[in-house]
Amino acid sequence: MPFDTQTTIENLRRPVGRDGAVLPVPSMPVFARRSRQGNAADVTIEIPADFRLQSGEKLGQTFLTGRLHGREGAPVVVVAGGISSGRFVHRTETNGLGWWSDAVSMGGPIDLRRCQVLAFDYAPTGKTGEEALTITTHDQARLLALLLDRLGIERVAAFVGCSYGGMIGLSFAELFPRWIEQLIVVSAAHRAHPQATAWRGIQRRILKLAVDAGRPEDGVALARELAMTTYRTAEEFGDRFASDAPTFAGQSYPVCEYLTARGKAYRTHTTPSRWLSLSDSIDRHSVLPESITTPTTLVGFTSDRLVPIDDMRELAARLPTLWRLVEAPSLYGHDAFLKEDALVGDILRTALKDIDQ
């Protein structure tokens, strides 16, 4: 296995303390179950019973599921996105479009003819109880490592992470410096910005109020509405929506009708406890850039208010093996990685051009 002595596979099972101490643990996951789903393959592994998060908490779920797309035996590229994403990254017969099919496709920037893509579902998933878990991006990286190990993948050609997935990528590179050949991080930095934490904190309080009131789905919808205002830019909203007032107070303005529709579409997409866990995980994210030795490409957007470009510049300045920092304008703010297909596609093609050589 491609680990150094302090990051052996056994160490993935328990959290690492601030002093670097790791308790010894017994056996590995007992199986990996594969099931073919159209043109992809789902892989489910058992999470060891003694796996603990950094907080010391235990996951309610007992399994972790990833999905393999592309040519079997080809170089592996891990792809991870925002907290709403998961293993359905590519267009499939079983789940429709996929969350990043513009990038992950046959002949696309992440070309499924040349590589095999692994995407995975973030924890917590499934029946995890009503309480939020304290889970870090390092915890997500350790779970991914268990999946990779069980699949027998000793080397990852590239880790492409966007938003929360970029944070996981940075954490993975910090924990397992020899496992990935290159890291591509889009719209994610080494820490959460306090203003972004403030916005997410309001969303979490909305969710808690709604749960206490017995209206959890309404809380998810309303929190999503607020989140949408932070993903996009004032310029986009100014271009898209008229400012005409409705007839009476209390009626919706055009922009509010859009946000309400987005919230309703999302109200059953996740649970309050899962949102609380992952939202907090974003704000808890912290890596030491100087400890990341993986060659890294960074992509930041000057209009992104959740991940300000100054944070991306600081990360770039502190990385020992920065390959490239790309700064670009966009009308779409933090959502630019999902909207700026041509720009992001060109960067990915350049970074991955030699992947199967």
Q: What are the residue numbers of the active site?
A: 163, 304, 334
Q: What are phi and psi of 158, to 5 degrees?
A: -160, 150
**How far is Cα 57 from Cα 344, in angstroms, rounded to an integer?**
37
User: DSSP secondary structure string, 217-277?
Assistant: HHHHHHHHHHHHHHHS-HHHHHHH------SSTTSPPHHHHHHHHHHHHHTTTS-HHHHHH
| Tokens encoding 142 | 């350790």
Amino acid at 235: E
Partners of residue 80 on adjacent β-strands: 161
Other beta carbons within 10 angstroms of residue 351's beta carbon come to: 23
**How far is Cα 224 from Cα 243, in angstroms, rounded to an integer?**
22
Question: In this structure, are residues 171 and 136 in contact, taking their beta carbons and an 8 Å threshold?
Answer: yes
| Residues in Cβ contact with 339 at an 8 Å cutoff, skipping those fewer than 6 apart | 330, 331, 332
